[in-house]
Structure 1
Amino acid sequence: MTSNNLTTTASPVTTPQPLPPDQISPKSVVLRIFQLKNVAQRNWKILLMLVILGGVIGFIYDLTHKKPPIYNASILFNLGGGSAGGGGLGELGQLAGAFGLGGGAPDANIFLGDNFLIYATSRPVVEKTLMQHDTINGKDTLLVNYYIRHSGIRDKEWQDNEAMQSFYFKRAKTPNEYTKQEQLAMSDIYNRVVTEIALKQPERKSSFIEISGFMEDEQLTATFIEKHLQTIENDYQRKQTKKTREMYDLLVKRVDSLAKKMTGTETALAKYMDQNQQMVVAQAKIKESTLTRNSTYLSGLYYSALQSADNMRLSLIRETPLFTIIKPVYFPLYREVKATVGMQAGIALGLILSIVVIFLRETYRSIMKGA
């Protein structure tokens, strides 16, 4: 009875259970920290040496691959649409009817919204800017040649092309006059320029537009932006008023033609009257009357066409879009120096390499101890 009681009342023997494999005890963490400390003490020279070596290599790379500064220039302007309303619309409608064209005034709003931004950076417009002369540093210079010398294109895009190292345009040309080499050169120049200029609206609700340039030469940046805006203005105005100008040119030709016919008729009338002052024959009077009537009729047409030409000129002025510069280019331009990252990258690579070397070294050391 006693033995049974002892058996039933005895406490079971407990044994420590191992931790699951996905858990780490605080003791093992402390031990590993001490192990890492010992590893660092044994290999700190390797770590320091490789980090310094990586930093030195990166520093040398930064010195040999130093990027030139970028100069930023911008012009803020407002594009005001030309107006052909009111009296101008009526005058254009009358002129169109006089020529038998019918309809009203031509629509001057060719480019709207984002279309203008695309148009302003198109290749034809950029090429017109590059093919302009300007006085730079006191010398008359073709802008495209100044761009070739100071934009950095020879050191980058044309670095391995010996023929392009000494290339330049001998004079301003239109695209259909380019040689094959000039076509290739202009293609490279345009592809570079479109990455160095930008047009945007600072505020969507505003009508202001900002044109900006980012180039390696201060004078080039300012000159190119100013000339490009001037090119855009001239070309845009010509396109916006194309129909009106065509009608105006046609009207001017009509005025000149009427002036010649009127002058000829008046001269013939004066000559006939001088020769027939004493004549009383009815046939002579009829011819004199016919010449007088023709002269009067042509005079009426001439003065009417002349008045119409004046009205057309005023309408052309009203239709011409107005570029108003709000903020011009100010010197000195903002100079942006791009930070080099060679030294930082070298230090990071040196640290990674040192960790790999230390890991391999400690692994070999542990293997040799076990052997």
Structure 2
Amino acid sequence: METIDSRNTGKNQLPPDQISPKEVVNRVVLFKNQLLRSWKLVAACIVVCAIIGFFVDLNLDKRPTYTAWITFNLGGGSASGGMGDLGGLASMFGLSAGAPDANIFTGENFLYYVVSRPIITRSLLKEVDTTSTSLLKPIANSKHKDLMINYYIWHSGIRDDEWEENDTLRNFRFVPGKNPKDFTRLETQALDDVFNRIKGETSIAQLDRKSSFLTLKTGLHFERLAAIWVNVLLETVQEDYTEKQNKKTDEMLKLMEYRRDSLATVLSGNDARLARYMDQNQQIVVAEGQLQQSKLTRNSTFLQQLYYAAVQSVDNLKLSLIKEAPLFTIVEPVALPLYKESHEPYAMQAGLVLGLMLGIIIVFLKQTYQSIMQS
């Protein structure tokens, strides 16, 4: 009998690396009993995590965020021919070989340039129409003009966030037409605060690796402010880009215009002297008088040639300005209404779930520790 019992016992035993269903059920029952005995611990974890989530919800910014974006393409304006265009395109895709391109208008340089401090500052100090429903209405025809930075301060929420305890900044307004170099300490501080905030709310990125389209995007708490800001920023980029690209040609144009006007003045004076001389000496016989008349005539002809050449040079430089000007093509303009993202409070609900999970984990670890100590 002992031999038979020992055989049956050996058959019922499982290998060490396997667990029988009966043992699994026993462990689940033990864990359930342990969980019921430790319900106060689980409840405490749930309450603590729920309280933390409640305070997180109190500090959560519940204002909706309106996202405005504008997709555009930058082309033209290359004075170096087709290879310059191909080189800029390859640099945009990161395919250029050798040292990085020093041109600020290609590749990653352009992306940094768009959100740089000079561009954003220039955009903030531009006048905008604050009442028109049309985003493309010329500011010159508007009776309700204000600086972009004043419009941003009033509608962005910075007065209630960063400047909540500073009454001086809350009631501060910038004066149109003032040079940033002449700003007071208070104006500089206000500009710095606005710049640091709006730069974090603005981004530019390549739409796709296989295209040259760029997307300028911003997310603000006021719908019209977001739509106006991306338009004003892109307009400023286009103006500054054109000025820098055409800087040398512009300087040459100013020089040639000054030369043309100077030649016109000298030519007019020489022609006037020649006319007076001819009127006073109609029956000229003396060789010295004929020599003076020939000299004035020769000067007039020479000055005319120089003047015509200067006029032609001015016309050519004006055509070059048009040819070299970059072409900003808006592929996808800003369209109202903008995409609205609501920020609903959910931290308390998440805290309840996390508290329950944390309590179960603590009970499980406690039961495991007790079973190890008993064995």
Partner of 1:132: 126
**Correspondence for 2:74 among 72, 79, 90:** 79
CA distance in 2, matches of 1:247, 1:77: 31
Matches within 5 A, 1:1-371: 29-41=24-36, 51=46, 55=50, 58=53, 62=57, 65-84=60-79, 111-138=105-132, 139-348=144-353, 350-351=355-356
Quick check: which has more Rg, 1 or 2?
Answer: 1
8 A contact 1:110–1:240 mirrored in 2 = no
Q: Deviations over 1:157-189 (max 9, x none)?
A: 333444322222122433312212222222222
Q: Is the 8 A contact 1:132 1:172 kept in 2?
A: no
Give a deviation string over 1:84-115, Cα, whole Å, max 9, x none. 479xxxxxxxxxxxxxxxxxxxxxx7622221
**Does the 8 A contact of 1:169 with 1:182 survive in 2?**
yes
The one-letter amino acid paired with 2:158 is I
Give 1:369's aligned residue.
none
- Secondary structure (helix, strand or coil) at the match of 2:157 reads coil
Identical amino acids, percent of aligned pairs: 47
**In structure 2, what is the equivalent of residue 98 of structure 1?**
none
Is the CA contact (8 Å cut-off) linking 2:76 and 2:325 kept in structure 1? yes
Question: Closer, same or farther in 2 for the Cα pair 1:21/1:315, shift >3 Å?
Answer: same
In structure 1, distance between residues paired with 2:80 and 2:33 = 89
Measured in 2, the distance between the counterparts of 1:114 and 1:354 equals 49
Q: What is the SS of the residue equivalent to 2:200?
A: coil
Match of 1:97 in 2: none
- Bigger Cα displacement from structure 2, 114-123 vs 248-257: 114-123
Q: Which residue of 1 aligns with 2:138?
A: none
Instruction: Tell me which moved more, 340-349 or 282-291.
Output: 340-349
How far does residue 56 in structure 1 lie from its aligned partner after superposition?
A: 7.5
Q: Deviations over 1:337-356 (max 9, x none)?
A: 23433222331354367669
Report the CA distance shift for 1:53/1:117 in structure 2 as closer, same or farther (over 3 A): closer
What is the CA RMSD across the aligned residues, in angstroms?
Answer: 3.5
Identify if the C-alpha distance between structure 1 residues 210 and 13 changes in structure 2 by more than 3 Å, giving closer, same or farther. closer
CA 1:113 to 1:11, structure 2 compared with 1: closer, same or farther past 3 Å? closer
Deviations 1:172-229 (Å, cap 9, x if unpaired)? 4333122122222222222222221111221223222211111111111110100111
Q: How many residues align?
A: 332
1-side partners of 2:330 and 2:352: how far apart?
Answer: 49
Q: How far does residue 78 in structure 1 lie from its aligned partner after superposition?
A: 1.3
Cα deviation, residue 242, structure 1: 1.0
CA distance in 1, matches of 2:296, 2:217: 65
Q: Indicate conservation of the 8 Å contact 1:197/1:212, yes or no.
A: yes
Unaligned runs of 5+ in 2: 82-102, 133-143, 371-375
The one-letter code matched in structure 2 to 1:114 is: E
How has the CA–CA distance of structure 1 residues 38 and 148 changed in structure 2, closer, same or farther, with 3 Å as cutoff?
same
Which secondary structure does the structure 2 equivalent of 1:194 belong to? Answer: helix
Q: Give the SS at the match of 2:282.
A: coil
Give, in whole Å, the separation in 2 of the partners of 1:115 and 1:49.
Answer: 54
Distance 1:317 1:39, change over 3 A: same
SS at match of 2:331: strand
Where structure 1 has 5 or more consecutive residues not aligned to the other structure, the ranges are 1-9, 87-108, 367-371
> Is the alpha carbon distance of 1:124 and 1:66 closer, same or farther for their aligned partners in structure 2, counting shifts above 3 Å?
closer
Pair 1:260–1:65, CA change in 2 (3 A): same
Is this contact kept in 2: 1:142–1:172, CA < 8 A? no
Report the Cα distance in structure 2 between the residues aligned to 1:27 and 1:82, rounded to whole angstroms. Answer: 80
Q: More displaced, 30-39 or 256-265?
A: 30-39
How far 1:24 sits from its partner (Å)? 7.3
Q: How does the TM-score come out when normalised to structure 2? A: 0.76
Secondary structure at the counterpart of residue 285 of structure 2: coil
Matched residues in 2 for 1:340 and 1:13: separation?
A: 66
SS in 1 for 2:62: coil
